[in-house]
């Protein structure tokens, strides 16, 4: 797990396209997790410990605008809620859709509280949260349009920034895998 995250950091650094600051310390990661109520997957944590890419699209967990980071964390769920309200989306696992759009949004919001949390990696690319987990595919999430963009973090970085095609993998966490 740690090796996977460090290897991913090496992959990104090898492209020389981004400013990479020293990685987050254990205490910085713990503070971020506490502040935002999240837990990084083990490989994501190891990646951020090895290197902190900054610049357009990268979440700056050390010095970034806290409001913008909260917005990035909320975007996957807010995107689903947008599709419930504006595009008649309804996840079949939620049971029958309420008749009114307003009620559907209320019910969806309540049910989305229990779906696995996604944590931004770059732009609208996310990894599932969770200590003790690793090797998840990176997901591109735009509302309910969810696509796997790499079988794991390193594969994603090679594809996104190195133009190296890779197997996309299969979404590995409940709810999001059903949208992919």
Structure tokens at 137: 């595919």
pLDDT, average across residues 108-116: 96
- Angle, helices 42-50 vs 26-36, to 10°: value is 130
Q: Give the Å distances, CA to CA, from 165 to 58, 135, 154, 157, 159.
A: 22, 18, 12, 10, 5
Q: pLDDT at position 166, please?
A: 81
How many whole angstroms separate alpha carbon 34 and alpha carbon 180?
29
Q: pLDDT at position 167, please?
A: 81
Q: Would you list the domain boundaries of the chain?
A: 2-179
For the ranges 30-34, 62-66, 163-167, the lowest mean pLDDT is seen at 163-167
Percent of the chain with pLDDT over 70: 99
Q: For the chain, what is the mean pLDDT?
A: 94
Q: What confidence tens digit (pLDDT) does each residue in 127-138 have?
A: 999 998 898 999
Q: How far is CA 29 from the centre of its chain?
A: 16
In the 8-state DSSP scheme, what is residue 136? P
């Amino acid at each position: 797990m740690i090796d996977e995250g460090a290897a991913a950091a090496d992959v990104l650094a090898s492209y020389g396209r981004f400013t990479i600051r020293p990685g987050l310390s254990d205490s910085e990661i713990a503070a971020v997790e506490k502040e935002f109520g999240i837990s990084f997957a083990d490989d994501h944590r190891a990646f951020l410990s090895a290197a902190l890419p900054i610049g357009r699209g990268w979440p700056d967990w050390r010095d970034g605008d806290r409001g913008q980071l909260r917005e990035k964390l909320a975007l996957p769920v807010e995107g689903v809620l947008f599709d419930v309200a504006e595009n008649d989306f309804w996840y079949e696992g939620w049971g029958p859709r309420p008749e009114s759009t307003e009620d559907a949004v209320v019910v969806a919001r309540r049910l989305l509280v229990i779906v696995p949390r996604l944590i931004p990696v770059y732009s609208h690319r996310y990894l599932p949260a969770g200590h003790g987990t690793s090797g998840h595919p990176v997901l591109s999430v735009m509302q309910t349009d969810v696509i796997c963009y790499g079988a794991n973090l390193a594969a994603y970085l090679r594809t996104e920034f190195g133009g190296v095609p890779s197997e996309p993998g299969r979404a590995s966490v409940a709810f999001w895998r059903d949208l992919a």
